[in-house]
Structure 1
Amino acid sequence: MLIPRTFVVAALGWVGGAEAHGLTADDRAALHFGWSFDPWVVGLLVLSAALYVVGYVRLRARSRQARTVRAVHCTAFALGWFALVAALDSPLDTLAAALFSAHMLQHEALMLIAAPLLVIGRPLSVWMWALPVSLRVGVGCAVRSRWIRAPWRTITTPLAAWLLHAAALWGWHAPVFFEAALARPGIHTLQHASFLVSALLFWWTVFGNTQRSERSAHAMLSLFTTMVHTGALGALLTLSPGLWYPSYIESTSALGFDPLQDQQLGGLVMWVPGGLAYLIGGLAVAARWLVKRLPSPMRARAAQDG
């Protein structure tokens, strides 16, 4: 059985919103934007990277087969890891407290850059090899139990993952919930966690399980429909004549920007670059499908080439 390779990765985003994105009085006075080194975020990021390096080295020493594939996975994980760092610890995180457009860019980095790259990186299978043998066996037995296997199969069906991701996107952008996340650190943490977890599940249905032939059709449909509904949400934000999130008025004005224009820019971030990310994903799925249609010798040669 394929184990849930992305659930552990989701913990990296759970603490990403440890501070709510409403400015305090001191923040408004200083308006200084730098790196935010939350101990929990930094600790989880460092731990995840260390485990991956140990597991990767052990796997590479164990067998020379599929080294190219493992190298691709390692590169994807590294890029996804750096995307998490950029979203959760870089000045983008502190700037998101003052600008809605920066906040939207942060969310897009989590959902459209970090999440798909982490899924491609297959971190859990590599982390397993960093564990002691006894613990590795115990974890393997646990994830194969029906208590984990049945829920995992349910939430990773294309329809369930699509619905969860769409609900997270539309629900959290409702003004009442978005404003609550800006005001309360706990709710803001939940917002970031639900964005990342639902994105990991969504991209798992696209790139995670490639053994079933019908996955490509499901993946293309999921990507196209998600591109449509996220584009619609971005268009609503961009073309709206009024402000959706009044909490940003003071901080945006303090930086010399028009709050409505900042909202429009945030909508464009979701509408245009977001749509491009789903288009790139669709092209990757199409390329995967075409490679599978090649004769076996040509398929093997394509795999060796990269």
Structure 2
Amino acid sequence: MVVYFLLCLYNTLIMSFEEYIFWSRNWSSAWAVACFIALGVFTIWFRPGWRRFFTMLAAILGIYVVFGSPLNHLLEFGLHSMAMIQHVVIIMLVPLLLWIAFKGEYIPKQSEVAVKRNFVLLAWFAGTSSMWIAHFLSAAKISAETGLVICGISASSSSFAVQIPNSLLLGVVLIAGIFFLTPVFSRNPKHQIRPLSAVIYLFTACVSCSLLGLWVAFSAGASQAVHAAPLLTTIRNPIPMTLVQDQELAGMIMWVPGCVMYVATSVYIALTWLEETKHEKIISEKEVIQNRK
């Protein structure tokens, strides 16, 4: 009887990370079915090649990790770093994969049609502001639900942030992330900016997410309430860490991986543009030689 009681106590109070990951309750079968159907519809409707198929598969896996995996439940323990992983994946990685899956490889703009500056600014502010807004709302939600001070934010249980479903917040920022990349990957000449402008566009977004990451990381060390907090938040937490460690990790996740993705995309666009320019130059030189003959 005592042994049985101790086993029950272990299962209810103490849980290792491995046990948490492999616990079926933390995996959403509904989201798995929805993602499988979405991949099937994409494959049947668009009949993509292998590259686009696996790109869409990666995007759908990213969506499932954010919405249906145990990562989503780790927020219950007050882990703000897990929220940052969700934001980086759903705002930066998934929209990029979706654009490539639907439109194929990046094609530099050839048309001389001018792009409306207001449209580009709107897309840029939608993408960059969604990162900041998602961070503050997530911090407020975690603070209200756990009673902890997250990045200097202390919210009560009656805060409006608690009323916002996390899935709704992530869905909105996913749409904002897709809209943010429209001036870069759109095939519509009225919407697509030139390669050099695209590089600057993405680099400035990198600066924005770096500032957010730095602010989150360094605000953890400056707060006395953070240092006074115990391990997050109960003994059941499968990833025990202090509030300082959690917030520093959250800042590093937004700062480094987030910025790297935008920089890598900028480099890819620049290399594609240079290769295209070189190819056009070779063709024009051949045409000149043929005309001389």
TM-score band, normalised by shorter chain: 0.5 to 0.7
- Which ranges in structure 2 are unaligned for 5 or more consecutive residues? 1-10, 104-114, 146-161, 284-293
Indicate conservation of the 8 Å contact 1:154/1:160, yes or no.
Answer: no
Residue identity matched to 1:284: Y
Secondary structure of the residue aligned to 1:284 is: helix
CA distance in 2, matches of 1:91, 1:291: 42
Shift of 1:29: 4.3
| 1:44 equivalenced with 2:34 (yes/no) | yes
- The TM-score, its normalising length taken from structure 2, stands at 0.67
| 115 and 220 in structure 1: CA distance in 2 versus 1, 3 angstrom threshold | same
Shift of 1:277: 0.8
- Match for residue 266 of structure 2? 282
| 216 and 295 in structure 1: CA distance in 2 versus 1, 3 angstrom threshold | same
Shift of 1:232: 0.5
Indicate conservation of the 8 Å contact 1:156/1:201, yes or no.
Answer: no
- Which ranges in structure 1 are unaligned for 5 or more consecutive residues? 1-26, 61-69, 124-152, 300-306
Indicate conservation of the 8 Å contact 2:217/2:252, yes or no.
Answer: yes
- Match for residue 54 of structure 1? 44
Shift of 1:44: 2.7
Indicate conservation of the 8 Å contact 2:80/2:246, yes or no.
Answer: yes
Q: Aligned-residue CA RMSD in angstroms? A: 3.5
Secondary structure of the residue aligned to 2:259 is: helix
Secondary structure of the residue aligned to 1:295 is: helix
Shift of 1:102: 1.9
Shift of 1:264: 0.6
Which segment drifts farther, 237-246 or 194-203? Answer: 237-246
| 293 and 104 in structure 1: CA distance in 2 versus 1, 3 angstrom threshold | same
Residue identity matched to 2:208: H
Shift of 1:179: 1.7
Question: Could you say which structure has the larger radius of gyration?
Answer: 2
Match of 1:92 among 51, 71, 85: 71
Secondary structure of the residue aligned to 1:260 is: helix
| 1:217 equivalenced with 2:196 (yes/no) | yes
- Match for residue 229 of structure 1? 208
- The TM-score, its normalising length taken from structure 1, stands at 0.64
Match of 2:133 among 171, 177, 195: 171
Residue identity matched to 2:125: L
Match of 2:83 among 100, 103, 106: 103
Match of 1:180 among 133, 141, 154: 141
| 198 and 214 in structure 1: CA distance in 2 versus 1, 3 angstrom threshold | closer
CA distance in 1, matches of 2:124, 2:225: 25
CA distance in 2, matches of 1:249, 1:198: 36
Match of 1:161 among 123, 128, 135: 123
| 206 and 56 in structure 1: CA distance in 2 versus 1, 3 angstrom threshold | same
CA distance in 2, matches of 1:210, 1:289: 17
Number of residue pairs aligned between Structure 1 and Structure 2: 232
Which segment drifts farther, 165-174 or 265-274? Answer: 165-174
